[in-house]
Each structure stands twice: as C-alpha cells, then as structure tokens.
Amino acid sequence: GDSVTQKEGLVTLTEGLPVMLNCTYQTIYSNAFLFWYVHYLNESPRLLLKSSTDNKRTEHQGFHATLHKSSSSFHLQKSSAQLSDSALYYCALSGSSNTNKVVFGTGTRLQVLP
Amino acid sequence: AQTIHQWPVAEIKAVGSPLSLGCTIKGKSSPNLYWYWQATGGTLQQLFYSITVGQVESVVQLNLSASRPKDDQFILSTEKLLLSHSGFYLCAWSLDWTNTGQLYFGEGSKLTVL
C-alpha cells in the first residue's frame, strides 16, 4: 500500500538558517497528491502545501516544495527559518484523486532556536 | 465559512468502558468526513472515512466503529475501551473526492484510558 517516510523525527536549527525537511513516498498511482501539513502546538493540523505536478515548485508562506516523481520525493524547504516556524510537520500522500485514503508520515518536529 | 467542532475535548475513561466521540461540520453540505488517531509520539493514522450519510468505510481495524447519522455529523465509538485506544482523535473534512487529501481538521479529542 501507499506509504510516506520522514526520516528525521527532530530537526533543530538556529533562526536564519535554511530549512529542509525530507519526505519520500511509495505509491502505485502515477497521479498521486503530496501534501505538507503543519501542526502548531494547541492548534489543529493545517495544510501548508500540496502538489501533484512533477517537477513544479509549490510555494506558500515562505515554504516551498517540488514533487519529484523520479525519486518519489517531496522535500519541504525554506530559505531562512523563523522562531515561529517551530512546529510538527507532516508529509502526506493521497494515492489517487478519487480515493479517500490519505496516508501521513511520522512527522518531523522542527525546533528553531534563537 | 466552514467550521468543525469536536466533542469532548478530553476524556479519561476506564478500560472496558464505552466511548463516544463526536464531530460536527457547519457551513458545508455533503462533506467527506474522516477520523484520524494519533498515539502519543505517533503519526496520524486514518481510521474511517465517509462520503455520505449512513455510509462509513473502515481503513484500520482498532476495535472502533464509526457512524454518520446526519450529513454534518460523524461519531466514533466503541463498547469496550482498551488501553491501546489512548491518544488523540482528530476529525477532518474535505470538499469532495476531487480535492481528496486537502483535509481540514478539528481541534481534536484527547482520550486517556486507564
């Protein structure tokens, strides 16, 4: 079945440094949707980015990600981390546009220090 | 604007006791509805989804059941709680199958089973 791998459980970095959170996936569907959700403390998880287009950069709120189907990756990046970026980030996969099964990775906690 | 409300916010229950968690969506007719569960330190695991009243599909078997008695209501329940049921339960909705994966989450219900 579909699966998502986020190898880093915790990423700690200093404010101002670039952010990269890794996400790889497995699916048999060629038109899979990939998502990044952000979960701030005491809030509900919310969508940050989504893409289903190969090699197209998607941006939102300073974050960006590019879906690379050749390597089954959808890494989340930001040029300069802010303290307010500290949160739990989930990569998620919907294997087909007409399925209601959305698979989440284990999440990466981003901790930005001053 | 659409709103999603979950109840109760938190519950402490004994092993073997029954459970009922609820979720109500306002401002959107015929949403797709989902239940997710997150064990402490774990990922978001999809439990059930529903695309219409009276129809619920199970994704993972955890000795839980779900029902959709009304278009805007999704209920998660069990007659006998297990210790392993402890965790955080999130209800979510999406627009329809064309937007599957773009989920809007409620505030969640924290369940502690003793």
For B25-77, the pLDDT digits (tens) are 998 888 899 999 998 878 899 999 998 999 999 988 789 999 999 999 999 99
Sorting pLDDT into bands at 50, 70 and 90, what band is B101?
Answer: low
User: CB B103 to CB A44 under 8 A?
Assistant: no
Name the more confident of A43 and A76: A76
* pLDDT for residue B16: 97
Average pLDDT along chain B: 91
d(CA B65, CA B94): 20
For residue B49, which residues of chain A lie inside 8 Å, CB to CB? 100-101
**CB of A24 closer than 8 Å to CB of A72:** yes
CA distance A105 to chain B (A): 6
* pLDDT for residue A77: 98
Chain A interface, mutation test: which of B5, B43, B57, B98, most A Cβ atoms within 10 Å?
Answer: B43
Determine the topology of domain B3-113 in CATH. Immunoglobulin-like (2.60.40)
**Arithmetic mean of pLDDT, A32-40:** 93
* pLDDT for residue B36: 95
B49 at interface of A, judged by CB pairs closer than 8 A: yes
B100 at interface of A, judged by CB pairs closer than 8 A: yes
CA distance B67 to chain A (A): 16
Residues 21-40 of A with CB under 8 A from B: 33, 35, 37
Q: At CA B80, angle to CA B79 and CA B81, rounded to 5? A: 125
Torsion of CA A92, A96, A101, A107, to 10 degrees: -10
**Other C-beta atoms within 10 Å of A76: how many?**
22
B7 at interface of A, judged by CB pairs closer than 8 A: no
Determine the topology of domain A3-113 in CATH. Immunoglobulin-like (2.60.40)
A8 at interface of B, judged by CB pairs closer than 8 A: no
Name the more confident of B98 and B46: B46
Question: What burial letters (b/e) apply to A94-107, b meaning 16+ CB within 10 Å?
Answer: bbbeebbbbbbbbb
Name the more confident of B56 and A1: B56
**Arithmetic mean of pLDDT, A54-62:** 95
CA distance A60 to chain B (A): 14
Tokens of residue B59, six digits? 């994704």
